[in-house]
Every structure is written in C-alpha cells, then in structure tokens.
Amino acid sequence: MIQVGYSCDQDHISNLNRLDSFDTYFCNPVAWNCQIVRSSFMIGELAAISAAFLWAVASVIYATLGYQVPALALNLGKGLIAIALLGITILVQGLIAPSLTTPNSLLLLLSGTIGIGFGDTVYLEALRFLGVRQTLLLGTLSPPMAACLALFFLGERPSSLAWLGMGVTLVGVIWVIRERVSGDGRRRSPGSACRPVGDHRPSSSQAAQGLLYALLAALAQAIGAILSRVALENTPISPLWAALLRLLAGVVIVGGWGCLRQQIQGWWQAVKATHLLIRLLAAAFMGTYLGIWFQQVSLKYTATGISQTLSATSPLFVLPIAVLLGERVSHRAWLGATLAVLGVGLLLAQN
C-alpha cells in the first residue's frame, strides 16, 4: 500500500485509499484532482531512473536500425506504435481526456513538437553518425541546460545537496562514456547491424554532423522537459495523457514533413522487413511508450534538473548491456559508474 498525503474533498477519500499499486498511482484519474503529497517511494526519481534504463536498451536497438532506416522513418514509426499503445492504456484506465484548448495542453503539444518531432529526429541522426556512447556523452548537456532554464523560467531552486548530487552524477556518467570499451578490435562496416555498443570512430565530416545533431537534441530535450514540467506541475493532467499529447504533436510534425517531401512510401519500404519491424516494435515499446510515460511521471513529481539528471544515467545501463554482448568494460568505467550511483544516492537522499 502506497502511503500518500492528500488534501481533497470527502468524495475522493475512498478513491485515494484504493491507490494500492504503483500502476494505479500513475494512472488513477481521480487522484490527479487532489493535491497529492510526495510519498516515501520517491515516485518522480524512480520513474526517471526507469526511463533511463528503458532508453539505454532502446538506444542500442535504434543504433543498429539507424544504419538501415532513415531517422525520420524511425521517429514516425516509433511514434505511431507508442501512440497506439498509449491509446489502449488510456482506454483501459478510463482516463478523461483533457481539453486541447487549455494552456497546459497547448504547452504539451509544443513540448512534443520540439522535444519529439525535432529533438528525437536529430538524436537518431546523432546515433547514426556518432554511435551510442558518444551521443549519450553529449546528451549529458541536457540536464544542466534544463536546470538552468528551470531556474530562470520556473524559479526552481534545488537544494545544495541536490546540486551536488547532479554534479557528481553527471561527472560519473561522463567518465563512463569517455572510458573506451575494448572489444574484439575489428571495425564494422557502416551498414552493419552489429556495431559495438561502446566505441564508434566517425570521419571528421561525420563527427561534425553528429556533434551538431547531438547538441540540438540536448537543447530540444531540455526545452521539451521545461514545457512539460510547466504543463504537469499542479495540474490534473495525467502523465499518460501528457505522453500521448506530446507524441501526437511529434508524429504530426514528422508525418507532415514526410508528406510534403513525398517520402512516406520510401520510409515504409525501408522499414517493412519483418526483422526490422520487430526491432522497431521492441524499441518503441520500451523507449517511447514506457520511457516517455515514465519521463512525464518524473517531471510531474520532481524538479526538472533532478528529473533530467536521473534520466541521463542511461550510459550506466549500457555497461551491462555491453558485457552481455561480449564486450570488455574497463575497471575505470565501472569506477565511473560507481561515482554516478553515489550521485544518484545524493539526489535521493535530499528527499
């Protein structure tokens, strides 16, 4: 039983008393109409860490798909799959749709346009040019960007312990990503679906393009997170609906662009192979459906900088994935992971 504090009218008390599961706490439509006090379970922080794990697994899959399928096609495909899954979940939960004309709904649509329609597309392009580890390294710029934007626009002032935790976590994450993984030493061709998780050495032109895409992705993610935080904080909109609205906006932008350039048929031809569709479905389920849902939960219940920092711990989860794929991970990389975990501990301790 999750213990929560609340301030709401008597008609809602019996419903709040039935919040006896993690899933119900996320989805119960009545609960969003009450002022729920954060529980000892640190829902926002745990949701961010869960999203980081899901994005790590999905990024490895997307990196292999990116050499065979255009980034825009991947973005559109994963968005459509996640929208269908979110729609089914919302119907099962019986959540009431928010008004699309309210400022908060419009902010979520704008967040999806920037963070998903644009941000995810350039992120997938960065994966194709730089590989997983270097893209994730540049992605660590997103949390400080988000924290600074939140401080300036939202007046969010994390405690000194929280700032220390964010700093230690990011240093550990950067250490992990910069530490090269020693694999079998063989170079894969650009079209290979078996490129190592660890290191990718692009040409100078590829590195320049990948750097630009990764920086744009980090900025777009920070802006998208800020807009979502504004829309979700102290409002009755559930994270499920927030995730759906953001994805709808992103898919409309990507799909509209494909239609204008008459590329939709070509995108389908690129992804229609059964083995590619299976991988896309798996990545979209974990990284887009569950990942974005958990991210919205995190942004609803914790400060933007903390949420983005914990969400940026994906490289820590890439390490065991690399080991499972037969790559050797150095002791220094594990030390960096330990440092990042200590930083996460500081962030959780400040609650």
Q: What DSSP letter does each residue of 315-332 carry, written as one string?
A: HHHHHHHHHHTT-B--HH
Structural domain contains residue 22: no
Q: Residue 41's pLDDT is what?
A: 52
What's the CA gap between 48 and 310, in Å, rounded?
6
Is residue 295 included in any domain, yes or no? yes
Please provide the DSSP assignment of 139-161 as one string. Answer: HTTHHHHHHHHIIIII-----HH
The model scores a pTM over 0.85: no
Alpha helix (H) ranges present in 202-288?
A: 204-232, 239-260, 264-271, 274-283
| Least confident range of 116-120, 194-198, 215-219 | 194-198
Residues in the chain, overall count: 351
Full domain range(s) for residue 161:
42-349
pLDDT, tens digit, for every residue of 63-110?
788 778 888 888 889 999 999 999 999 999 988 888 777 888 899 999
Q: What is the pLDDT of residues 7-17, one digit of tens each?
A: 344 344 334 33
In percent, how much of the chain has pLDDT > 90? 25
Q: Span 294-312, mean pLDDT?
A: 88
CA dist 112 to 116, 256, 339, Å? 5, 14, 33
Q: What is the pLDDT of residue 15?
A: 40
Inside any domain, residue 193: yes
> pLDDT value at position 186?
39
Three-state SS for 236?
coil
Backbone angles phi, psi at 182, to 5 degrees: -95, 110
In a domain, 200, yes or no: yes
Dump the DSSP string for 271-326: H-SHHHHHHHHHHIIIIIIIHHHHHHHHHHHS-HHHHHHHHTTHHHHHHHHHHHTT
- On whether residue 112 sits in a domain, the answer given is yes
Number of separate domains in the chain: 1
Query: Is residue 117 a part of any domain in this protein?
Result: yes
Q: Are 136 and 59 in contact (CB under 8 A)?
A: yes
Q: Kindly state whether residue 190 falls inside one of the protein's structural domains.
A: yes
Q: Is residue 202 part of a domain?
A: yes
